[in-house]
């Protein structure tokens, strides 16, 4: 079964738009990665300042390969831009294995 990685990002209100713009600017960056299955950026509605970055991978090895090849450059700022101020003040990575799932019935 698949593995899920949820990156919990604490984002102050004044940096929310920046975070969302940065994710929008890199749309498509992960979709062609071997073993990638799903991505969602979840904005908090109430009661928290934490965004959830949800990704699902075929295997832990697929995630680790992507993380070592892509994640570092994606978080280092664009070339020539220098280091950008992080939008999040804290980040925690949660890892899960999918043991059950359901989808809408069709037909």
Distance separating alpha carbons of residues 1 and 19, to the nearest angstrom = 31
Task: Compute the average pLDDT of residues 89-104.
Answer: 93
Q: Is the pLDDT of residue 82 over 80?
A: no
Instruction: Output the average pLDDT for the chain.
Output: 88
- Answer with the residue of higher pLDDT: 84 or 12: 12
**Residues 34-75: pLDDT tens digits?**
999 999 999 999 989 999 999 999 999 999 999 998 755 555
Q: Give the 3-state secondary structure percentages of the chain, helix then strand then coil, rounded to 5.
A: 25, 30, 45
Task: State pTM to two decimals.
Answer: 0.82
Please say if the pLDDT value at position 106 is more than 80. yes
What totals of helices (H) and strands (E) does the chain contain, helices first? 3, 4
Instruction: Indicate the pLDDT class of residue 83, thresholds 50, 70 and 90.
Output: low
């Amino acid at each position: 079964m698949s593995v899920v990685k949820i990156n919990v990002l604490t984002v102050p209100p004044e940096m929310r738009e920046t975070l969302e713009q940065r994710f929008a600017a890199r749309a498509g960056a992960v979709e062609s990665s071997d073993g990638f299955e799903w991505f969602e950026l979840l904005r908090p509605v109430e009661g928290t300042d934490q965004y959830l970055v949800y990704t699902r991978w075929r295997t832990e090895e697929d995630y680790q390969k992507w993380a070592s090849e892509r994640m570092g450059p994606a978080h280092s700022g664009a070339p020539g831009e220098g280091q950008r101020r992080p939008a999040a003040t804290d980040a925690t990575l949660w890892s899960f294995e999918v043991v059950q799932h359901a989808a809408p019935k069709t037909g």
